Chains A and B, each alone.
Chain A
């Protein structure tokens, strides 16, 4: 590194190069070594992210693969049958279609509630709020994001389920609506804090320009701010989706854990994640049931990957314009 600098110096200032001992005092050896070491540590932590993802992918696949060749297993049944009987005494069937629909329905419902609320709150905090209230709101919302999911699940079982029975007359309070509401509450803080950051990143000169052109505040937000912060807001929504789709404990407690395709908001459902959490502990290691659960893990992996990839492409599309 030091020699590099020397040669650059020599090229730019030919006169100085003769007296380089004077112009560039040597740095102690240990400083240079420490710098090199830190460079390597940082490089390694960058690479380790890739390594971990590959290692997890490899492990989950390795555990799942043998079942593909088992005679009790049929990939079409796995993806499109609603019959999930992993421990049946007479007829073992591994159909995850209801679970896939369960996962999607809870996530979509949660997003229908969380996205308008989250983005609305982000706009309010960033644009309409006075400074002191803004700081207070931000602290409270970050606190909300720190509540553990098992606590949310507990709220779902105890508080939310009673409210749902009272207001909708549902036969049981633990259902799709309960899970969706809990997940929405869990992902709103993420959408708000990232959405607010995205809006804050829009330079004030945009706002000033819009207002000086005679735009109202609403017109400024709708026509200037939102388009300018588009990719950041989309990232906020996608992280919210990620939280909702991957959530396990809260949905395990709040959705009723019932293998069926929901026909209404007050039907109970079971999600892929909750199913793995509930059954993996009791499935004998190496059995077909155990491997099928890993295969549902692979399925989840693929779904998340597809969501992230779409998001990436969409953001690129927006930037490209």
Chain B
């Protein structure tokens, strides 16, 4: 080993030692402030996979506002979160559906407290077609006939549609992978929990759906309303009242748009002070901005004012 390389090796050793020292010093400092500061509270949040990114974003932002409160977020699904709440294991359950009556009763029996729900935002599913497609509106029944198992609608001509420039008449269905929350949302709201017809192109992400629809003239697909590109068109959906709505923020907030659902959080009875403050912050303008940033629909501002 030459003198040069030995020098270099010892330099590395020294550098590593310095780095380690700095690291431990940093850790100690952090611990010091934590132990000397006010008693830190932990809020545990668990539930909907749809909302897990949103809940994470809230938690991260809240850390800047109130560092003494630690928020632990985990997913698993709305049902998992509600089950944990019923056991009293967590402070907040996130859910993309309302709690069932049986679940509320079970929670009362287990903990003696009545669960309280708060609507913290809305999620709307947009139906996309290529921008050259002359179709403007569609009903939920037609969607079920297109996407559902053994559905009757296979060709655009069956709906009286001729897409200019398209060489095929077959409806190209763009769907999501079976593990996605969007897939389950569509299955529940459009198909009534029946199965999808196989042979759709199952995409990995929300963005891919919009991109593929934008490049295929005969395609139809569903995805979050925040993913529209200039090559796609959102369809109006006819509601039960006979009026057709686009998935706009106003019509989602008013629950006029049929493929919209509320995003909720549940607590057991009256929450403690820290949790209450957190929920109030979520409903505030700052918390609602994060809802919009994550591609969901915030609460109407009249409520937060």
Contacts and interface: CB of A to CB of B under 8 A. Distances in A.
A257 interface: yes
Contact of A90 (B167, B195, B200, B201): B195
Interface stretch (A49-57, A130-138, A217-225, A276-284): A276-284
A278 B204 contact: yes
B193 A87 contact: no
Given A268-B201, A279-B178, A85 B172 contact: no
Interface residues of B, number: 26
Interface in A80-138: 82-91, 98
A191 B142 CA distance: 50
A82 B219 contact: no
A292 B91 CA distance: 36
A278 B167 CA distance: 31
A55 B213 CA distance: 44
Interface stretch (A22-30, A61-69, A170-178, A208-216): A170-178
Nearest to B168: A171
Interface string A160-172: 0110010001011
A169 B170 CA distance: 13
Contacts of A169: 167-168
A148 B194 CA distance: 39
Nearest to A252: B204
A86 B128 CA distance: 26
A260 interface: yes
Contact of A279 (B177, B201, B219): B177
Nearest to A161: B215
Interface string B94-128: 00000000000000000000000000000000000
Given A86-B178, A87-B179, A172 B198 contact: no
B184 to A, nearest CB: 8
Contacts of A98: 198
Interface residues of A, number: 32
B170 A171 contact: yes
A260 B198 contact: yes
B160 interface: no
Interface string B167-201: 11010100001110000000110000111001111
A256 interface: yes
Contact of B172 (A91, A161, A171): A171
A84 B202 CA distance: 13
Nearest to B198: A259
Contacts of B216: 165, 171-173
B179 A174 contact: no
Contacts of A89: 187-188, 193-195
Nearest to A98: B198
Contact of B219 (A162, A171, A257, A260): A171
B218 interface: yes
B212 interface: yes
B203 interface: yes
B168 A282 contact: no
Given A171-B217, A279-B177, A279-B179, A258 B168 contact: no
B198 A165 contact: no
A157 to B, nearest CB: 9
B201 A256 contact: yes
B198 A173 contact: no
A172 B202 CA distance: 13
Interface in B140-181: 166-168, 170, 172, 177-179
A172 B215 contact: yes
A85 B195 CA distance: 8
A257 B215 contact: no
Contacts of B201: 172, 174, 256-258, 268
B226 to A, nearest CB: 21
**Looking at B179, B188, B212, B219, which has the most chain A CB atoms within 10 Å of its CB?**
B179
Contacts of A84: 198
A206 B202 CA distance: 55
B199 A259 contact: yes
A83 to B, nearest CB: 7
A83 B203 CA distance: 18
B178 A258 contact: no
Contacts of B199: 258-260
B276 to A, nearest CB: 34
Nearest to B194: A90
Contact of B203 (A85, A257, A259): A257
Contact of A278 (B168, B177, B188, B195): B177
A87 B178 contact: yes
A86 B194 CA distance: 13
23 contacts: A85-B195, A87-B178, A88-B195, A89-B187, A90-B193, A162-B215, A165-B216, A169-B167, A171-B170, A172-B201, A172-B215, A173-B215, A174-B212, A252-B204, A257-B177, A257-B203, A258-B202, A259-B198, A259-B202, A260-B198, A278-B177, A279-B177, A282-B178
Q: Which 10 A-B pairs have the closest CB atoms?
A: A282-B179, A260-B199, A169-B167, A89-B193, A259-B198, A87-B178, A172-B216, A256-B201, A171-B172, A257-B202
Given A87-B178, A256-B201, 19 more contacts: A85-B195, A89-B194, A90-B194, A90-B195, A91-B195, A98-B198, A162-B215, A171-B166, A171-B217, A172-B172, A172-B212, A172-B216, A172-B219, A174-B212, A258-B201, A260-B199, A270-B202, A279-B178, A281-B179
